[in-house]
Amino acid sequence: MKIVFFGTKPWEKDYLTLKIKDSGVEAGLEFIEGTLNKDNIPQSADCDIISVFVGSEINREVIDKFSNLKLIVTRSTGYDHIDLVACEDRGILVASVPSYGENTVAEHAFALLLCLSRKIYLGYEQIRENGSFNVDNLQGFDLKGKTLGVIGTGRIGKHAIKMANGFDMKVIAYDTYPNKELEKELCFTYHSFNEVLAESDVITIHVPYLKETHHLLNEESINKMKPGAYLINTSRGAVVETEALVKALESGHLGGAGLDVLEEEGVIKDELEFVLRGHPKEHDLKTILSNHVLIDLPNVIVTPHNAFNTKEAIERILDTTVEDITGFIKGKPVNLVKFKSE
């Protein structure tokens, strides 16, 4: 059994090698630092299992290069970077990491919110750039007593609610499948989507990226948000329509935004490639330019898809990745992604 890992760091290579050895399975391991996509396919593509992260793009063209491929393990909860239809057509299983960073991502969401509510970054920049300790332009607002709207009350949303309770915030939430036991346990209330938009001082998004959640926050829904409200997004960039968000921020309808994810962030991360080759048709140039406007707005905090990135969370990801691989090899696969036909 041959396994190829893409996008791993040296310490992750050592960690995975030791964990797989300790599991008792026999497998040949190969580690490639770069991501996997149609322009970066290894010469030797005879592996049985590949493991990738969200930066890889596993489309049909890539999948067809691996004639012996039986399993794709993504070291992430989301799997929208993998063509599931092509995998199903080839009989290739897909496994993910369904749980690793519930508290980790929720903590980052609150870090973004606190940066905005207390103007921490603006204060830091003012001191670093000008040596000024003037606080006239740095007045923030308390979280206590504010209403937090949580969109999605799964694992991460649950932790966000717990943290909001610690700040003595009022919490309301929307979920396609309300968890009434959780509602009672954590003392919040479910409302309709539009009610959450209208009543929340801060909205934090914790939904997966699906066809149904594409541009969930668009021009129409953003306009329904409470004037002066703040938006926090640590889920996926395309859940929020970038152009609509820019308009709402520039007009003053929204007070600010904390974003760990952006639409077309893959292009933004590799601007040299963008300049040299132009933008592929699937990338929306207007969205890319709007993202740059967002980055420059003083009431916006942007981080580079880093909410998951703590030592503890990464180790949990790697541990689950090993479980996915060894379970498959031993004939007891776990954490499999369901195909639409199932």
Q: Which residues are known to be catalytic?
A: 236, 265, 305
Q: Are strands 49-52 and 71-74 parallel, antiparallel or unpaired?
A: parallel
CA atoms within 13 A on the CB side of 131: 0
- How many Å apart are CA 275 and CA 52, to the nearest integer? 26
